[in-house]
Amino acid sequence: MGKIFINAVSLVKTADNLEEFFEPKNLRRMDFFSKLALKAAASCLREVGIDLKAEKKIALIISSGYGPVKRTCDFMDSIIDDGDECASPLAFSSSVHNSALTSISILLNIKGPCLTVSNLEQSFEGALLTAKNWLNSGFADTVLLGAVDEEHQVINSVLKNNPQVFKDFTDTKTDYASAFFLLSKKGERELKEFNEDKTPKTPFNPSKDAFALAKKHSQILDLDDIARISSCFIKTELARSGQDIMGVFSEGKGGQLLKNTEPALKTKILRSLSRLFSKTEVDLQENAIAAACFDFFNKNKLINFFTSGSTGIVKNCLHTSKMIEEEAKGLLFLFPNIKRVVCTVPSSHSYGFIFGLQIPKLLGVPVVQKPPMPTLNWAEILQEGDLLIAFPMFLKQLILAGVKFPKGVFVLTSTAPCPDEVIERIYQNGASELVEIYGASEGGAIGYRRKAGEAFALLPFWQGEIIEGKLTSVKRRQTDLYFEMPDIIEVDIHGKFRPVGRKDNAVQVAGINVFPQKIERLLKQHPLVKDAAVRLMRPSEGERLKAFIVLKDSLALQGQEQQSDEILKDLHAFMKQNLTVHEVPRKITFGDKLPLTDFGKKRDW
């Protein structure tokens, strides 16, 4: 036979977000089995930009070991309960193995030959062989090949109640999902042996080979991932704008979150969201956010993270699919015994994206998303084998709340330096292991350590450049990502590194490089100043620097205008005496403490 290529692939385990593709009236009476297959088929076609509504001269083959078992059981129950004459016609029409193929061919407007194959654990192999024959014989130019099986309650019950009967079976694990492949005679991903590890087939999970093949070839983000990232981004932006601070804890998703948002802010958020998956801003329709972003990602194969702006300017950090895959796979060695991930970080953040989305996918473990609230009953939420994705400020709050970790819980922290005393207390409170990640939005995870006082080890997918005992830059081993270290980093004799200070990051004022951290250090030398932050103004504010100052006596300016004027005059005189005209902040704001993000980094004011 000639070579066959995979042009697109989709693997789904939920029927969520189908309304992004189809009108609700078309889905109203469809059962879970057909929805699962329809979503995978639609996602597969959208990956290569095929219009779902347009007429398609492609072939469709669907395999299923058991077909729509829930509807079959419903139909049998209706016969038992109501008799032959009153048996449910809806359950009957949905119980036939061909039901998913019928729904897909109608809603996706497929006009080519269609076939359903059902032969228990041999189903997918038979369907794949048929697809290859159709392509090689010229009967079809393109084949949309799918496999779908849902959770079989009868088999699960029999397995549970009769363990001795099945004790000689090597694999009795059941599973459910839908996997679809777009196959043709041309492409880049050749379809070779589909069961390379030669695992035995099992009647308990008849579509196992199809799911494994789809997992191997599927892209890093599917429709559900895009929907989750989009919702996290919208919640974060609503909270940042002050319109819905508690919205980050809501269960809403997508356009629902923007229902009561004023139009200008809604447009701004949606345009910013489009840039996560596109190189330019575009307008999004709030009733189809995930579908549009899914299309952008399929076209561009990248995601654009935004830095926190803690160094003065928010930067765009483009990461291609290959860069993300290299990082995620290169981190797996840190988590050998994880059974579940509990994530408190939004997946629109680079840290949450890798560890709360990509790592669980590769490990094949479920994810539980929880808000970073120390008042939750974490002793009950967490269980043995959990990996808690957290950050230093939240860990501090857990310590203050007296949270004790159950046995076998692993903790991950990043986004800001984690103090040694926090690491020590987390271990004292029962964590089996803590891993701190050193990294940045631009480069992702770079190094790691497990104990307080330890230096960081460079992650294996990086190659470092060391000059005069300092790690100055890193380069990925498999992709072309190059990153200059944002900190002054000393390397010890064992090759491990320690950040010893932040590099001054220059910004331009009227075309002149100035260094905000230099100005911060100077302001802190003033006898009245306790702390200070300096950064470039937002474009709407101007093109100069601004400063946020915490006085040693926080009450000094309350109700004392004359004293306030005197302090300002003194500060201005001090700065003019020690700084150039470009370095003097144009605007000064006073407060009790520096503005910080939820992750403990400096934020704008």
Question: Phi/psi at 387 (nearest 5 deg)?
Answer: -110, 115
Residues 438/447, Cβ–Cβ less than 8 Å: yes
Q: Which residue has the tokens 């928010």?
A: 314
CA distance 261 to 244: 9
Cβ partners under 8 Å of residue 310, min gap 6: 597, 601, 602, 603
Residues 471/489, Cβ–Cβ less than 8 Å: yes
Strand pairing category for 512-514 and 114-117: unpaired
Confidence of residue 335 (pLDDT cuts 50, 70, 90): very high
Average per-residue pLDDT for the chain? 88
Q: Which residue has the tokens 């306790």?
A: 530
Residues 592/554, Cβ–Cβ less than 8 Å: yes
Lowest mean pLDDT among 85-99, 360-374, 386-400: 85-99
What's the rounded mean pLDDT across residues 315-328? 89
CA distance 337 to 340: 9
pLDDT per residue over 414-454, tens digit each?
A: 988 899 999 999 999 999 999 999 998 888 999 999 999 99
CA distance 466 to 110: 58
Q: Is 5 helix (H, G, I), strand (E, B) or coil?
A: strand
* pLDDT value of position 94: 86
pLDDT per residue over 227-253, tens digit each?
A: 999 999 998 888 877 665 565 566 677
CA distances from 9 to 98, 103, 288, 396, 591 (A): 21, 19, 22, 43, 54
Strand pairing category for 507-509 and 512-514: antiparallel
pLDDT per residue over 101-128, tens digit each?
A: 999 999 999 999 999 999 999 999 999 9
Cβ partners under 8 Å of residue 73, min gap 6: 153, 154
Rg (CA), the chain: 28
CA distance 183 to 1: 14
CA distance 515 to 509: 10
Q: Is the pLDDT of residue 311 over 50?
A: no
Dihedral sign from CA coordinates of 316, 322, 323, 324: positive
Determine which helix (DSSP H) or strand (DSSP E) holds 258, and give its type and residue range.
Answer: none
CA distance 578 to 520: 12
CA distance 449 to 417: 11
Confidence of residue 293 (pLDDT cuts 50, 70, 90): very high
Q: Which residue has the tokens 């590769």?
A: 362
What distance lies between CA 80 and its chain's CA centroid? 46
Helix 32-47 / helix 99-107 crossing angle, nearest 10 deg: 40
What's the rounded mean pLDDT across residues 64-89? 89
Residues 446/438, Cβ–Cβ less than 8 Å: yes
DSSP characters for 50-105?
--SSS-B--EEEEE-SS-SHHHHHHHHHHHHHH-STT--HHHHHHHSTTHHHHHHH
Tell me the two tokens of residue 274: 């489009």
Q: Is the pLDDT of residue 604 over 60?
A: yes
Strand pairing category for 59-63 and 142-149: parallel
What's the rounded mean pLDDT across residues 189-197? 71
Confidence of residue 562 (pLDDT cuts 50, 70, 90): low
pTM of the model: 0.73
What's the rounded mean pLDDT across residues 492-521? 81
* pLDDT value of position 284: 86
Query: What DSSP state is assigned to residue 134?
Result: H
Spell out the domains of the chain, with CATH numbers in brackets. Answer: 5-217 (3.40.47.10), 223-300 (no CATH), 347-502 (3.40.50.12780), 507-590 (3.30.300.30)
Query: What DSSP state is assigned to residue 465?
Result: E
Count of alpha carbons within 13 angstroms of residue 193, beta-carbon side: 5
| Letter string b/e over residues 91-126, b meaning 16 or more CB atoms within 10 A of that residue's CB | bbebbbbbbbbbbbbebbebebebbbbbeebbbbbe
Question: Phi/psi at 299 (nearest 5 deg)?
Answer: -75, -45
Question: Which residues are 435's β-sheet partners?
Answer: 412
